[in-house]
Structure 1
Amino acid sequence: MKVALYARYSSDNQRDASIEDQLRLCRSYAERQGWRIVDSYSDRAISGSSLLRPGVQDLIADGLKRRFDVILTESLDRLSRDQEDIAGFYKRMCFAGVAIVTLSEGEVSELHIGLKGTMGALYLKDLADKTRRGLRGRVEEGKSGGGLCYGYEVVKQTAANGEATRGDRRINAAEAAVVRRIFSAYLGGASSRRIAWELNDEGVPGPQGSAWGASTIHGNPKRGTGILNNELYIGRLIWNRLRYVKDPDTGKRVSRLNPESEWVIQEVPELRIVDQDLWDAVKARQKAFALTPEETEEVDGNILTDRRRPKHLFAGLVKCGCCGGGYSMISKDLLGCSAARNKGTCGNLRNIRRDSLEASVLNGLRAHLMEPALFKEFCEEFTREMNRLRMEQSSEIAGRRKELERVQRELDRAVQAILDGVPGSQLKDKIGKLEARKAELTGMLASATEPPPLLHPNMAEVYRQRIAALHERLQSEETKAEAANILRGLVNQITLQPDGNGLAIVLRGDLAAMLSFAANTKKPGLRGETGLVCDRGSQASLVAGAGFEPAAFRL
């Protein structure tokens, strides 16, 4: 039996040696069972509330490849404490024929998944409730209930019992002066972008030592984020304004605004940095520039043009070739480097008209991307290889169906032999093996998916024709929105690099999406079938230009 070991601990406060302790116990158990250890996996200081951990993701990937027969860990909650995740993990390993054994529960079954999954979820909820209760008590004492705000520093002191006290803060004089400067400059008419630019130009470090940005200063007034909205600067400590929930698909935390009735507010006048008059004047200026509900409905007026510009065709995909930051709309028709204009940390001040960029990218997709003969050769080779693999998959499924029919015929003959008087004891072992093989084949066929249709042998030409048709659909108002979504799915990134007096464009596309587009299917089954598409969910990229090297074409 080939076995893989897994260990995890969840907190930075735990010892790193905890991993070795878990692995040592698992090794001893494996040796007593006579199992051969082929690999070990671990995750350090990562919560078990999600499967988005590098160690467990490697474990799943190798398990599906049948690199081992058994997964051995200290307990089931080391793998995951989430009910959905642990059930999905168990289901995938059962499909791969990999057993899960823990030192606490033994061999894991559906019963363990149900009970331990529920216990793990309740543990996380109970831990969250206790943590929030402790934080609330700390806030009601006038101490910090979260991280360190800009303008303050941690006070390290020891209580009478010898334990370190937590949550005490005091004003950092240097940072407090920067906070007051920001408020005064904003009240004096400077925009948050101009303030950030000047601070970065003078080398003033921002929160956590990062560069200043416009959003760092103006933030979101409703959520209390940003320098201009932090009420701690006027001696009001507000806790529980936001709650955080985890997106089940991405595993990322997403903030939600709590009702004001649930906020915990504590007056801490000793932490005041900004005078009340200055604060009130800044709030009045913010309110003067805020959109009213009536204004937000005025989609045809100048207000949204000036303050909330609509997204363009390639919004979010255009990057600066100098700093790697994004290109955003700096006026109604011009795109510019956000870092250069909002932070002053990039020297790329070249602008580009949005319509010129879109026209150049469309021409690149329609012509430049398809120019090299190498792309045609690649499509031909790729098509041949994919079709070969798909035919092999089809023949494998057909072979299993034939074997299942043969096994069923042998079982029928064995049963008939018993009916004819042959002692059942003589056929017991044979029938048992046939029944086991029948169950195995039935399971394989039930979980097998029919291979997708074969790819078109002239994929490169099909791609060229479909891009041309897509270009025509973009010109029509009726089909423009749908065509734009398809087009954005083909482009991964557009990099703008200063070149002489103009800008050079490097267009990078998603190869799997392009092949799907050429095959005229949403799920062509390209991912994971060959080494041409990267493993573990990533996709290969194709760069416009000869030989798949980044080739720039000037505007």
Structure 2
Amino acid sequence: MKKAALYVRYSSALQQDTSLKDQIFQCTAYCERNSWTVAQIYKDPARSGKTRFRPGYQSMLAAVEAREFDLLVCLTPDRISRRLADAADLLDRLDLAGIELHTPSLTRVTPVTWGILATMAQEYNRQTAMRTRGGQATATKAGRVAGGIAYGYDAMPADADGKRGFRSINQIQAAVVRRIYQEYAAGRSPKDITHGLNADGIPGPRGSSWSPSCIYGHRRRDTGIINNPIYIGQIVYNRAAFKTDLNTDKTIVRLNDVSEVVTGTAPHLRIIEDELWNAVKVRQKVLVSRMTGAEGTIRPENARRPRYLLSGLLTCGICGGGMSKISAHHYGCSNARNRGPTVCTNMLTVRRDVIEPLVLDGLQHHLMRPEAVAAFITEFEATVKAEAAQRDQGRLALQAELTKIAGTIEGAMQALIAAPTSRALADHLAKLEVQRDEIEARLTRAPSVVPVVRPDLTAVYRRKVINLTKALGQPETATEAAELLRGLIDEVRMVPVEGKLEAHLYGALGKLLELGSENTRSSGPGVQVTLVAGARIGLYRTRLQSRR
């Protein structure tokens, strides 16, 4: 009896879980009619079909690769994907694994049908997005809000025509907005304003605590309390475009051209008067001018970069927030200082010249463990073999091409013997001989490569680990060594214990191949290898003396 797997999905969190149940019911009934056993059901509730980064979908792909079932059944093709490229990729994977694709209405789906339906699904998405943007632009021009609910406002019910996007001022929150503007215009920093709001127990926009970024946001994108023009009765739509990186599934934000920005007026939503708004904008411009050069670019001395080995890697063991430099030599919890004691009480600090050597020692100790060395050797051997096989494939392709052109030359010579006066045949033969000579030259430059594993890989690896920390002290290699070491660390969690800090080192053993390379610079990103559960580097802990 054939084993079938079901894939079910719905897109929006506004939809109900009954959608999945209906899909499962119909697909299961289809399998029963064909006497198939349902071996597995892969679910993606409230997940868009425009991305392949869905937990259920990724689990299903892994099962396809492992050939864990014979048939894949979905209610309709758009449940699988709404991107033509992803749909084609899945079809190739299924074909390679010998797995059939079925739907209850279409039965077995052919490549032609699949391609047509996938194209229609992608076009449907595009058309829906265009209609949505058109409707949102119309709403904005009419003084209605096309986006979410900004802090300081409440959503109103739809009108008699079913139109939405109406807002009313929330007087309690509006008073907080005025307080923020007044304090910022008076010279207080977003961090100081945040401390005051949290100390007074005022909930933030999402019901939790306030952070400085809630206040300053992004000036050019009109985000953050002090940038949102709705507070002066202006509604702005399409300031930025949000795209999804197909390789990482991360959102990329790009500012739109001014001509694409849509604005509307809503005087009844004004909370801040022009005089106060302008005072805030003047102060912002002064601060920006200190940070940027003549052309508006960030001054080199103000550019954000990982200045130190552990910049961005230290986290607080109480609140999980980042630990940043609070003085020339000390790291401390950012939340405790920026958001106040209502968010985090960890005021312990650690010296940079103490934590960096300790982390390096712990990292070096872990990298020397037998399982780390074994993982490196396994991955290195696999990569060497794969690269050698790829080069051999190229050589075989050249040899096949040479054989083919040799046959063509033989045929041309026979034709020329039969017609010795043909200038065209003579020219054609000459071109073929030139091509043959070029292929032979390429073969000479591409010697056969036999995968050979270095007999001293363990020694090479250990030497590289030792030299890596030494390279930090050499000016010509310090930057490269620091970048590689940072790539091996995911997090250094600083946990307060009895008035002192314990350093817990976490990380994935990435870039191991770079460690084993005899070259100074790496030619690629290496292979990510996680050796222990939770990606924790051993049980390395060190208690540090800290000051308050």
Shared fold per TM-score greater than 0.5? yes
Sequence identity, in percent? 37
Following superposition of structure 1 onto structure 2, how do residues 229-244 of structure 1 map, counting pairs within 5 Å? 229-244=227-242
Q: State the alpha-carbon separation in 1 of the partners of residues 452 and 349 from structure 2.
A: 46
Alignment check: 8 A CA contact 1:452 1:524 kept: no
Q: State the alpha-carbon separation in 1 of the partners of residues 504 and 194 from structure 2.
A: 30
Equivalent of 1:552, from 518, 522, 542?
A: 542
Q: Deviations over 1:184-226 (max 9, x none)?
A: 1111221001111111122110012121111110111111111
Q: State the alpha-carbon separation in 1 of the partners of residues 103 and 159 from structure 2.
A: 42
1:351 is matched with which residue?
349
Instruction: State the SS of the aligned residue for 1:209.
Output: coil
1:38 is matched with which residue?
39
1:432 is matched with which residue?
none
What letter matches 1:5 in structure 2?
Answer: L
Q: State the alpha-carbon separation in 1 of the partners of residues 304 and 166 from structure 2.
A: 40
Q: Deviations over 1:318-350 (max 9, x none)?
A: 111111111123345443211111111111122
Equivalent of 1:541, from 522, 531, 535?
A: 535
2:81 is matched with which residue?
80
1:455–1:197 Cα change, 3 Å? farther
Alignment check: 8 A CA contact 1:383 1:455 kept: no
What letter matches 1:109 in structure 2?
Answer: T
In the alignment, structure 1 segments of 5+ residues that lack a partner are: 398-449
Q: Deviations over 1:358-378 (max 9, x none)?
A: 233223323x4368xxx33x4
Q: Deviations over 1:91-145 (max 9, x none)?
A: 2222222221123433233323432222222111101001111111211221111
1:60 is matched with which residue?
61
Count matched residues.
473
Alignment check: 8 A CA contact 2:185 2:283 kept: yes
2:313 is matched with which residue?
317
Q: State the alpha-carbon separation in 1 of the partners of residues 134 and 273 from structure 2.
A: 32
Alignment check: 8 A CA contact 2:487 2:510 kept: no
Alignment check: 8 A CA contact 1:11 1:45 kept: yes
1:468 is matched with which residue?
466
Alignment check: 8 A CA contact 2:367 2:373 kept: no
1:109 is matched with which residue?
110
What letter matches 1:473 in structure 2?
Answer: A
Alignment check: 8 A CA contact 2:152 2:171 kept: yes
Alignment check: 8 A CA contact 2:10 2:47 kept: yes
1:431 is matched with which residue?
none
Following superposition of structure 1 onto structure 2, how do residues 321-340 of structure 1 map, counting pairs within 5 Å? 321-340=317-336
Q: Deviations over 1:232-262 (max 9, x none)?
A: 1011111111111111112232221111221
Instruction: Determine if the alignment matches structure 1 residue 276 to structure 2 residue 274.
Output: yes
1:322–1:68 Cα change, 3 Å? same
Instruction: State the SS of the aligned residue for 1:34.
Output: coil
Following superposition of structure 1 onto structure 2, how do residues 321-470 of structure 1 map, counting pairs within 5 Å? 321-344=317-340, 345-366=343-364, 368-369=365-366, 375-376=369-370, 378=371, 459=458, 463-470=461-468
Q: State the alpha-carbon separation in 1 of the partners of residues 197 and 451 from structure 2.
A: 57
Q: State the alpha-carbon separation in 1 of the partners of residues 60 and 85 from structure 2.
A: 18
What letter matches 1:252 in structure 2?
Answer: K
Instruction: Tell me how far 1:512 sits from its aligned partner.
Output: 5.4
Instruction: Tell me how far 1:501 sits from its aligned partner.
Output: 5.5
1:524–1:257 Cα change, 3 Å? closer
What letter matches 2:319 in structure 1?
Answer: C
Instruction: State the SS of the aligned residue for 1:47.
Output: coil
Q: Deviations over 1:263-310 (max 9, x none)?
A: 11111111000111111111111111113433877867xxx35x8575
What letter matches 2:273 in structure 1?
Answer: D
Following superposition of structure 1 onto structure 2, how do residues 199-278 of structure 1 map, counting pairs within 5 Å? 199-278=197-276
Q: State the alpha-carbon separation in 1 of the partners of residues 286 and 12 from structure 2.
A: 46
Instruction: State the SS of the aligned residue for 2:541.
Output: coil
Instruction: Tell me how far 1:48 sits from its aligned partner.
Output: 0.9
1:285 is matched with which residue?
283
Instruction: State the SS of the aligned residue for 1:315.
Output: coil
Instruction: Tell me how far 1:526 sits from its aligned partner.
Output: 7.6
In the alignment, structure 2 segments of 5+ residues that lack a partner are: 390-448
RMSD value over aligned CA atoms?
A: 3.2
Q: State the alpha-carbon separation in 2 of the partners of residues 47 and 123 from structure 1.
A: 13
Q: State the alpha-carbon separation in 1 of the partners of residues 295 and 500 from structure 2.
A: 38
Instruction: State the SS of the aligned residue for 1:42.
Output: strand
Instruction: Tell me how far 1:382 sits from its aligned partner.
Output: 6.3
Alignment check: 8 A CA contact 2:489 2:506 kept: yes
Instruction: Tell me how far 1:458 sits from its aligned partner.
Output: 7.3
Following superposition of structure 1 onto structure 2, how do residues 468-547 of structure 1 map, counting pairs within 5 Å? 468-500=466-498, 502-511=500-509, 513-514=511-512, 517=515, 541-543=535-537
Q: State the alpha-carbon separation in 2 of the partners of residues 100 and 361 from structure 1.
A: 51
Q: State the alpha-carbon separation in 1 of the partners of residues 250 and 298 from structure 2.
A: 34
Q: Deviations over 1:415-438 (max 9, x none)?
A: xxxxxxxxxxxxxxxxxxxxxxxx
Instruction: Tell me how far 1:6 sits from its aligned partner.
Output: 1.4
Alignment check: 8 A CA contact 1:510 1:542 kept: yes
Instruction: Tell me how far 1:525 sits from its aligned partner.
Output: 6.8
1:116–1:456 Cα change, 3 Å? farther
Instruction: State the SS of the aligned residue for 1:290.
Output: helix
In the superposition, the TM-score normalised over structure 2's length comes to 0.78
1:512–1:454 Cα change, 3 Å? farther
Q: State the alpha-carbon separation in 2 of the partners of residues 138 and 14 from structure 1.
A: 24
Instruction: State the SS of the aligned residue for 2:294.
Output: helix
Instruction: State the SS of the aligned residue for 1:85.
Output: helix
Alignment check: 8 A CA contact 2:373 2:461 kept: no
1:425 is matched with which residue?
none
Q: State the alpha-carbon separation in 2 of the partners of residues 58 and 359 from structure 1.
A: 41
Alignment check: 8 A CA contact 2:508 2:531 kept: no
Q: State the alpha-carbon separation in 2 of the partners of residues 168 and 524 from structure 1.
A: 53
Instruction: State the SS of the aligned residue for 1:507.
Output: strand
Alignment check: 8 A CA contact 2:70 2:99 kept: yes
Q: Deviations over 1:475-526 (max 9, x none)?
A: 2222222212211121121112234555332222324555874587968878
What letter matches 1:369 in structure 2?
Answer: H
What letter matches 1:75 in structure 2?
Answer: T
